[in-house]
Each structure stands twice: as structure tokens, then as C-alpha cells.
Amino acid sequence: GNSVTQMEGPVTLSEEAFLTINCTYTATGYPSLFWYVQYPGEGLQLLLKATKADDKGSNKGFEATYRKETTSFHLEKGSVQVSDSAVYFCALSAPGGANSKLTFGKGITLSVRP
Amino acid sequence: GAGVSQSPSNKVTEKGKDVELRCDPISGHTALYWYRQSLGQGLEFLIYFQGNSAPDKSGLPSDRFSAERTGGSVSTLTIQRTQQEDSAVYLCASSQAGGSNEQFFGPGTRLTVL
């Protein structure tokens, strides 16, 4: 079946540090890939997505590139801010079929120190 | 416009009681999903509704769980004879029909079974 694996957390960084959060997936065909973010006290919201190989999703300074050859969708940001402190979830939805249910990774908590 | 709303925001119940959780999706969204977020299992898919099609119930963990969607809009998730392991945050999401369309999540209902 489909699965998503995220690096273990939590992660603590100083402001303006470089961020990488690893995500790899297992799926047949070409799934769509997503990063969702959950800020403290708020609901899940889409951060970025990519729907085909070599696509790059970007938003709020975050980027992730869909790598079919390594089945990865690592999240990066060049300079994190305190406001980026949140829980980050990598997810996929399987290609084809009517149900676009999301399969999530375990999530990783990011804390950014001033 | 209004986002996905869920009620109640918190529910505390005694083991063995039945509970109903409600979701109001974004107007015009034909796809509706229920997920569960728990410490041990992360984010798991429960059930999916799309228009008038039969729902995909493949994620429901037991026959104590059921859901319906009336008039293609509001959905109710019912848990009968609740158990302590049912304690979790239940999330509802809606989207335009299928594919890689963004799922918009509600704030969730935190269920605690004593």
C-alpha cells in the first residue's frame, strides 16, 4: 500500500537557519505530493504541492521538488523565522480512482528560537 | 467565505456511550473526508464521500464507526459504544471533486473517552 516516511523529530533551529525536512514515499504510479502545516492552535492547512515528477512546489519561502527517481519530496527553506514554528506533515494522494484520500507521514515538530 | 466547520470542538464522554460529530464543508465542495489524528497512529483516513456515489469506508477502524452525508452537504460521524482508544482529534476536510485538489480542513473535534 501507499506510505509516507518523514524524518524523526522534533527539530529546533535558530532564526535564519537553513531548514530541510526529509520525506520519502512508497506508491504505485505517480501520486500527487503535499506538505501540510499545523500552526499552534490552528487547523491543518496546505503549504505546497506538486503533481508530477520534477515539479517544484513553493509557498512562503518553502520549496519542495518531486523526485521520482528517489521517491522523495524534501521540504526546504533558506532562512526560517520564529513564525515557522509548527508541525509539518508530508502527504500523498494516489493517482487515478475517485478517492483522493491523503496518506500522511507522522509529522515533525519544528521550533525556531529567536 | 466560510471554511470547514466542525462541532463540537471538544467532547468528553464515558466509555460505552455513543457520540456524534458534525462537519459542515465549504459550500460547493462535492468531496468530503474524515480523518483521525491520534498520538499513536498519526493522521489516518476514515471515510470519503463524493457527490451521490457510495462512500469509501475503507478506513473505518471498526463497525462501531459510521458516517452519513445528508443532501451532499453536512456530514455526521457516529461512534457507538465508545472505547478509550477512540480518543483522538477527528478532522473533516472538503475539496472540489477528487484529483490533486486542495483539501481544506476544519479545526477538528477533540474526543476524550473516559
Q: Tens digit of pLDDT for each residue in B18-48?
A: 999 999 999 989 999 999 999 877 899 999 9
pLDDT for A7:
87
Q: What is the pLDDT of residue B51?
A: 84
Predicted confidence (pLDDT) at residue A27 exceeds the cutoff of 70: yes
CA-CA-CA-CA torsion for A105, A27, A47, A109, nearest 10 degrees? 20
- Reference B32, options B22, B40, B42; nearest CA is B22
- pLDDT surpassing 80 at residue B97: no
Confidence tier at A29 by pLDDT (50, 70, 90): confident
Q: What percent of chain A has pLDDT over 90?
A: 81
Average pLDDT over residues A67-84: 97
**Percent of chain B topping pLDDT 90:** 77
The CA distance from B17 to the nearest CA of chain A, in Å, is: 27
pLDDT for the residue A97:
61
Contact flag B100-A100 (C-beta cutoff 8 Å): yes
Q: Mean pLDDT across chain B, nearest whole number?
A: 92
Q: Does A52 touch chain B (CB under 8 A)?
A: no
Worst-scoring range by mean pLDDT, A20-29, A89-98, B18-27, B41-50? A89-98
Q: What residues pair up with A90 in beta bridges, in sequence order?
A: A35
Q: Name the residue with cell 499545523.
A: A38
Chain A residues with CB under 8 Å of B43 CB are 89, 91, 102, 104, 107
CA distance B100 to chain A (A): 6
More confident residue, A28 or B47: B47
For A82, list phi and psi in degrees, rounded to 5: -55, -35
Q: How far apart are CA B101 and CA B107, in angstroms?
A: 19
B1 pLDDT more than 60:
no
d(CA A65, CA A72): 8
Out of B42, B45, B99, the one facing A106 most closely (by C-beta) is B42
Q: How far is A32 from chain B (nearest CA, A)?
A: 6
Predicted confidence (pLDDT) per residue in B49-83, tens digit: 988 888 999 999 999 999 999 887 999 999 999 99
Q: Is the pLDDT of residue A96 over 80?
A: no
Of A29-33, B15-19, B84-88, the least confident: A29-33
Whether the CB of A58 is below 8 Å from some CB of chain B: the reply is no
Model confidence at A98: pLDDT above 70: no
Mean pLDDT value of segment A61-73: 97
